[in-house]
């Protein structure tokens, strides 16, 4: 089956899950939350970072954390946590710390550490008092659970997977085989692939320095968003210097419901870096503590670059 047909099939499957109350199943590993929910008949909750992940038929809430066997980090990460993140855990019945073996086409859930939400909340309240990294990030390992919390372990002999969810994994596997891109169902990779398809680019694998390259080997940094505002996270000086090696920085807007690329701008990397440096300096001159070195490019910046000849509207 041709690549475009496979991408279209993912759209049809996304529409099915959307009609069943699950938004954007392909971004930020949401599909693995769906896989966990299917084991217990839970309903996924669409929301923001401070919303529980799922509820059961009795209205009890659950938080899902997972790591994949293929990952180098075999812990469960709470990124950019706030006091609200911890407070939320007091209102969930249980946190499911899940180990997923993604070495199979259809991922297999190996085991789940089931911990009462209040236990996790109390542990994080205690341990995060001594965390001084600006990201406010904490990793919880299996040993930390065993040593510090009451828990049950569910050993999964088989993993339930609905026919539609199974088809997503099979279709994604075919796309990965055609493109050579692994992990298209994690992070923002599928949407980068969609943009690359429109631009006749090739997407690099997850661990490469550059997001994509063209037929002449020129490299590109992709920023893909569902609205015309593109976030640049963890932009150290080394990251900014790396952008200067790219041919262009690609700012794209995608419609995740229609699976369409709405707009694409090719921007001069030095112009982007200059704007980001100015914005970061403004933040540093402010009074608030900067928890994460991040900034954004908005349409005001894009119009300025277009006027100066530092950007081109290509789609």
What is the per-residue pLDDT for 131? 64
What is the per-residue pLDDT for 204? 87
What is the per-residue pLDDT for 129? 72
Query: What does the pLDDT average to over 73-88?
Result: 86
Higher-confidence position of 167 and 290: 167
C-alpha angle with apex 281: 279 to 286, nearest 5 degrees? 100
What is the per-residue pLDDT for 128? 78
Neighbour-count burial of 92, counting CB atoms closer than 10 A to its CB (0-12 exposed, 13-18 middle, 19+ buried): buried
The token pair at 261 is 């690329």
Please check whether residue 95 is in contact with residue 62, taking contact to mean a CB–CB distance below 8 angstroms. Answer: yes
Beta-bridged to residue 231, according to DSSP, are 296
The token pair at 204 is 């690099």
What is the per-residue pLDDT for 191? 95
Q: Which long-range contacts (CB under 8 A, 24 or more apart) does 35-39 make?
A: 35/100, 35/107, 35/109, 35/159, 35/161, 35/165, 36/64, 36/66, 36/96, 36/98, 36/109, 36/112, 37/64, 38/160, 38/161, 38/162, 38/165, 39/109, 39/156, 39/159, 39/160
| pLDDT band per the 50, 70, 90 thresholds, residue 1 | low
pLDDT, tens only, 39-63: 999 999 987 667 899 999 999 999 9
Please report, for residues 39, 113, 189, 192, 277, the alpha-carbon distance to residue 183 in angstroms, rounded to integers and kept in the order given.
Answer: 22, 24, 7, 12, 31
Query: What does the pLDDT average to over 176-202?
Result: 93
Q: For 45, phi and psi rounded to 5 degrees?
A: -105, 125
Q: Mean pLDDT check: name the lowest of 29-33, 95-99, 277-281, 290-294.
A: 290-294
What is the per-residue pLDDT for 290? 60
Neighbour-count burial of 107, counting CB atoms closer than 10 A to its CB (0-12 exposed, 13-18 middle, 19+ buried): buried
Please check whether residue 97 is in contact with residue 65, taking contact to mean a CB–CB distance below 8 angstroms. Answer: yes
What is the per-residue pLDDT for 135? 59
pLDDT, tens only, 100-159: 999 999 999 999 999 999 999 999 998 877 665 555 788 999 999 999 999 999 999 999
Strand 61-68, strand 94-101: pairing: parallel
Q: Which domains does the chain have, with CATH numbers?
A: 26-163 (3.40.210.10), 188-313 (3.40.210.10)
What is the per-residue pLDDT for 144? 96
Higher-confidence position of 234 and 74: 74
Q: Which value, to the nearest 10 degrees, does the dihedral of the CA atoms of residues 271, 262, 19, 102 take? A: -50
The token pair at 182 is 């692994």
Query: What does the pLDDT average to over 283-301?
Result: 81
Q: Which residues contact 57 (CB under 8 A, 6 or more apart)?
A: 41
What is the per-residue pLDDT for 132? 59
What is the per-residue pLDDT for 206? 60
Query: What does the pLDDT average to over 271-284?
Result: 92
pLDDT of residue 271 exceeding 80: yes
Which residue matches tokens 């569910």? 154
What is the per-residue pLDDT for 266? 98
What is the per-residue pLDDT for 40? 97
């Amino acid at each position: 089956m041709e690549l475009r047909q496979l991408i279209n099939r993912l759209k049809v499957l996304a529409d099915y899950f959307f009609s069943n109350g699950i938004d954007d199943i392909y971004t930020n590993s949401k599909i693995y939350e769906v896989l966990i929910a299917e084991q217990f008949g839970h309903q996924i909750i669409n929301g923001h970072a401070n919303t529980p992940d799922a509820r059961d038929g009795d209205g009890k809430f659950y938080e899902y954390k997972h790591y994949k066997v293929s990952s180098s980090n075999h812990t469960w990460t709470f990124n950019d946590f706030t006091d609200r993140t911890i407070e939320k855990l007091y209102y969930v019945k249980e946190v499911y710390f899940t180990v997923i073996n993604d070495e199979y086409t259809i991922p297999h859930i190996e085991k789940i550490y089931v911990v009462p939400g209040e236990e996790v909340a109390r542990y994080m309240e205690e341990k995060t008092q001594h965390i001084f990294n600006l990201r406010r990030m904490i990793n919880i390992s299996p040993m930390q659970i065993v040593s510090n919390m009451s828990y049950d372990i569910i050993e999964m002999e088989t993993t339930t997977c609905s026919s539609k969810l199974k088809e997503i994994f099979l279709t994604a596997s075919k796309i990965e085989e055609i493109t050579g891109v692994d992990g298209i169902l994690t992070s923002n990779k599928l949407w980068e692939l969609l943009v690359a398809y429109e631009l006749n680019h090739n997407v690099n694998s997850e661990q490469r320095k550059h997001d994509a390259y063209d037929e002449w080997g020129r490299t590109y940094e992709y920023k893909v968003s569902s609205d015309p505002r593109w976030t640049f996270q963890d932009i150290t000086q080394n990251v900014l210097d790396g952008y200067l090696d790219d041919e262009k920085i690609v700012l794209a807007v995608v419609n995740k419901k229609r699976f369409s690329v709405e707009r694409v701008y090719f921007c001069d990397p030095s112009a982007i870096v200059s704007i980001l440096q100015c914005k970061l300096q403004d933040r540093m001159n402010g009074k608030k503590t900067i928890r994460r070195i991040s900034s954004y490019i908005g349409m005001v910046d894009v119009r300025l670059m277009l006027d100066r000849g530092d950007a081109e509207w290509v789609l």
